[in-house]
């Protein structure tokens, strides 16, 4: 499963060199972090709306959009996919309540 994410991360990295007039991702990078964050906010809202409607196909599609734009942010900030995967892995065996309490 993570092969798709790894391949996408490589494409997103390559798009840093692309012309913003010819690449959607390059146009996001050119707009800076604020443009990327705005897209993430829009996509997160669409996930919430799809979840509220309960339509599986819409939930999947909107979640894919949210993941995609979150990965654009990671790449823009120079954060590798492994950092997020490692963070998720570190939470195994820890209850959600304990994990949340450890952040304070």
pLDDT digits (tens, 9 = 90+) for 56-67: 999 999 999 999
How many residues does the structure list for the chain?
A: 104
CATH class for domain 2-102?
mainly alpha
| Spans of all domains in the chain | 2-102
> For the chain, what percent of residues have pLDDT higher than 70?
96
> For the chain, what percent of residues have pLDDT higher than 90?
83
Q: Are residues 26 and 16 in contact, defined by beta-carbon separation less than 8 angstroms? A: yes
Q: Are residues 26 and 20 in contact, defined by beta-carbon separation less than 8 angstroms? A: yes
3-state secondary structure of 76: helix
Give the H/E segment covering residue 67: helix 56-76
**Average pLDDT of the segment spanning 30-49:** 98
Give the Å distances, CA to CA, from 37 to 42, 55, 98: 9, 25, 29
Per-residue confidence band for 93, with pLDDT thresholds at 50, 70 and 90: confident
Question: Does 89 have pLDDT greater than 70?
Answer: yes
Which pLDDT does position 1 carry in this prediction?
54
Is residue 63 left, alpha or beta, with left meaning phi > 0 and alpha meaning psi from -120 to 50? alpha
């Amino acid at each position: 499963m993570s092969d798709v994410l790894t391949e996408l991360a490589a494409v997103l990295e390559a798009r840093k060199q692309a012309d913003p007039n010819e690449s959607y991702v390059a146009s996001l990078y050119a707009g800076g972090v604020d443009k990327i964050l705005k897209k993430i906010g829009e996509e997160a809202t669409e996930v919430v709306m799809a979840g509220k409607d309960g339509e599986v196909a819409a939930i999947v599609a909107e979640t894919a959009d949210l993941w995609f734009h979150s990965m654009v942010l990671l790449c823009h900030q120079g954060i590798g996919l492994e950092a997020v995967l490692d963070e998720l892995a570190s939470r195994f065996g820890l209850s959600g309540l304990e994990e949340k309490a450890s952040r304070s």
